[in-house]
């Protein structure tokens, strides 16, 4: 399956070959890779080089390593959480601004909700209604409603039955949750809840135009509030075009 490595950065080539085997289906979820010794012999490299490559593959969510007598490196099942985490890390490393993120939401989520109007299933709609109802019960608790609101938008994306959209929305909503939770007020909570209920109604009717209009209006209001919030931060000595903060781990990787 694999060929010997003859280059300086051997671990990178090992990663590439194993990735290709996974993406092509030659290696399937649950399959156990050869032992480190066997892989080292097959690639004509040291076990340390193989171990380095396996660490990279594990960090990317492609394999998981078990210890013990029945252990080894196994091909992982597809996990959207790891995709969302990778997107989140990319956004942080690129130091994208919160205003850019708010702007991008309109492009992604308006299209997603229109697609959802065509594809939403009974089970997905039922889950969305449950999330919206949960938010309705939390309108007096601004922090809790903000979390429920983020969950609502992820649920809308999932109604579109497109895993890339779902992972993308999940990734940047985690960043919004961590960066803008203190932006909400009683008025914005009421407006958000009303918008969520309008979106649910449009999806129930499979009305893509109405769903898109409701989402666009909702996100334009959010974008305005973000800009106002950031301008206020600038007036108090912060940078108005506030950047999404790096986590410590991301900062180390960026050096």
The percent of residues in the chain predicted with pLDDT above 70, rounded, is 84
**Model pLDDT for residues 10-55, shown as the tens digit of each residue:** 889 999 999 999 999 999 999 999 999 999 999 999 999 999 999 9
**CATH number listed for the domain at residues 81-251:** 1.20.120.530
The per-residue pLDDT for 112 is 96
Query: In the structure encoding, which two tokens stand for residue 91, read together?
Result: 């956004």
What does the pLDDT read at residue 174? 75
Token pair 């909400």 is found at 184
pLDDT at 98: 77
**Confidence label for 148 from pLDDT (cuts 50, 70 and 90):** very high
- What residues does each domain of the chain span? 10-75, 81-251
Exposure string for 50-85, b = 16+ CB within 10 A, e = fewer: bebbbebbeeebbbeeeeeeeebbbbbeeeeeebbb
- pLDDT at residue 86 in the model: 66
For domain 10-75, give the fold: Arc Repressor Mutant, subunit A (1.10.10)
pLDDT at position 236 is: 37
Instruction: List, for residues 157-202, the tens digit of each pLDDT value.
Output: 999 999 889 888 988 887 777 777 778 888 999 999 999 999 999 9
Beta strands 72-75; 63-66: pairing state:
antiparallel
> What are the tens digits of pLDDT across the range 211-236?
999 999 999 999 998 888 878 764 33
**What pLDDT is recorded for position 177?**
76
């Amino acid at each position: 399956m694999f060929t010997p490595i003859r280059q300086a950065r051997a671990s990178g080539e090992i990663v590439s070959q194993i990735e290709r085997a996974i993406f092509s289906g030659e290696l399937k979820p649950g399959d156990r890779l050869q032992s480190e010794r066997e892989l080292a012999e097959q690639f004509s490299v040291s076990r340390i080089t193989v171990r380095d490559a396996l660490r990279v593959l594990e960090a990317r969510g492609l394999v998981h390593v078990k210890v013990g007598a029945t252990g080894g490196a196994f091909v992982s099942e597809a996990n959207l959480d790891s995709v969302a985490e990778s997107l989140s890390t990319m956004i942080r490393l690129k130091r994208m601004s919160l205003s850019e993120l708010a702007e991008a939401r309109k492009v992604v989520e308006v299209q997603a909700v229109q697609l959802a109007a065509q594809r939403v299933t009974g089970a997905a709609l039922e889950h969305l209604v449950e999330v919206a109802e949960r938010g309705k019960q939390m309108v007096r608790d601004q922090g809790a409603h903000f979390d429920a609101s983020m969950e609502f938008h992820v649920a809308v994306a999932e109604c579109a039955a497109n895993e890339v959209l779902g992972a993308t929305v999940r990734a940047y909503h985690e960043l919004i949750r961590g960066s803008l939770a203190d932006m909400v007020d009683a008025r914005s909570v009421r407006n958000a809840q009303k918008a969520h209920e309008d979106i649910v109604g449009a999806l129930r009717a499979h009305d893509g135009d109405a769903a898109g209009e409701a989402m666009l209006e909702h996100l334009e209001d959010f974008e305005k509030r973000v800009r106002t919030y950031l301008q206020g931060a600038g007036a108090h000595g912060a940078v108005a075009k506030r950047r999404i903060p790096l986590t410590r781990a991301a900062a180390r990787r960026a050096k």
